Amino acid sequence: MFKVERKRKIKEIIFNRKQVDVATLSKLLNVTEATIRNDFDELEEEGFITRFHGGASLNSAIAQEEDVNSALTGNNIQYDKAKEALGIFASSLISNEEWIFLGPGSTSYYIAKALVSRNDMKIFTNNLLVSNVLSNNSTIQIHFLGGRLDNKGLYTIPNDIQKDLNNIYISKCFFSVDGADIDAGYTLSDTNVLEIIKAVSARCQQPFFAIDDAKFGYRAFMKVGDLDAVPNIIINDNVPDFYKQYYLEHGICVYTA
């Protein structure tokens, strides 16, 4: 194996594994450990790796950039069949003439994936995943709610959401929650999301919560409201029947994906 090809292979291995030791590469590429160490010298000079005793890791700046790119494309989201079903069903409730708000979280990402093939949609969001997915269709109008970025959740937190939403009226908005419990109601782990839900819902004709079955019976630490706080709910079929009965008794419109 020529040196150029060997270095390309080493880069590929380190990029995928994030770190590797000299002995492993020596065996994989059938070269001496001294050869690998010499290659490491050059890769470190190029800024591709950081050396440690007996091996090397991907340069932190490159790793961070890859993490961001992976996050923005949704490649770091573990496939969730239940959330995908919610997303597909939610998209069927949306018509092109409506203004739609898609909130933070991976459920909104699945709604966006279901909408991206449709033309002339009008979407308002603060979710970077959503805007990145929908930007693949140039006919979709995307209005992004600015503010401070939540690096973990990849959504923006407006500095003054009431001002940002002034004179804006939304047909349907879609949010999810971290927990749905018969006694505790709807709960969240993030206080910033709570403020966004309240502000957007106040400007929305038809607010929806899209909640996968894994959230039912779980309590996060901050209450959003009782289970009758939102008039429209999209759930999976295998949500326990007593929740469905609660919704029926309290006049909540339930859609089953």
pLDDT of residue 1: 67
* Same-domain check for residues 56 and 95: no
Could you write out the three-class secondary structure of the chain? Answer: CCHHHHHHHHHHHHHHHCEEEHHHHHHHHCCCHHHHHHHHHHHHHHCCEEEECCEEEECHHHHHHHHHHHHHHCCCCCCCHHHHHHHHHHHHCCCCCCEEEECCCHHHHHHHHHHCCCCCCEEEECEHHHHHHHCCCCCCEEEECCCEEECCCCEEECCCHHHHCCCCCEEEEEECCCEEECCCEEEECCHHHHHHHHHHHHCEEEEEEEECHHHECCCCCEEEECCCCCCEEEECCCCCHHHHHHHHHCCCEEEEC
pTM to 2 decimal places = 0.73
* Same-domain check for residues 85 and 165: yes
- The CATH number for 143's domain is 3.40.50.1360
* Same-domain check for residues 57 and 89: no
Average pLDDT over residues 212-216: 91
User: Which of 117, 139, 142 minimizes the C-alpha distance to 129?
Assistant: 142
* Same-domain check for residues 65 and 94: no
Contact 82, 213 (CB under 8 A): yes
End of a domain among 29, 47, 73? 73
Q: Structurally, how many domains does the chain consist of? A: 2
CA distance 100 to 123: 5
* Same-domain check for residues 158 and 208: yes
* Same-domain check for residues 193 and 176: yes
pLDDT of residue 48: 84
Q: pLDDT for 126-138, tens place per residue?
A: 999 999 999 999 9
Q: pLDDT for 38-61, tens place per residue?
A: 999 988 888 888 999 999 998 876
Average pLDDT, the chain: 89
* Same-domain check for residues 228 and 106: yes
* Same-domain check for residues 96 and 188: yes
- Tokens 């630490």 correspond to what residue? 221
End of a domain among 73, 104, 124? 73
- The residue that leads in pLDDT, 62 or 36, is 36
End of a domain among 73, 89, 116? 73
Q: pLDDT for 76-101, tens place per residue?
A: 566 788 999 999 999 999 999 899 99
* Same-domain check for residues 115 and 184: yes
**What is the band of 239 on the pLDDT scale with cuts at 50, 70, 90?**
very high
CA distance 81 to 111: 13
Check whether 68 has a pLDDT greater than 80: no
Question: By residue range, what is the domain housing residue 90?
Answer: 81-256
End-to-end CA distance of the chain: 54
* Same-domain check for residues 246 and 121: yes
Check whether 15 has a pLDDT greater than 90: no
- The CATH number for 67's domain is 1.10.10.10
Tokens encoding 240? 């326990």
Count CB-CB contacts under 10 A for residue 54.
11
* Same-domain check for residues 207 and 102: yes
Contact 186, 224 (CB under 8 A): yes
Check whether 194 has a pLDDT greater than 60: yes
* Same-domain check for residues 34 and 158: no
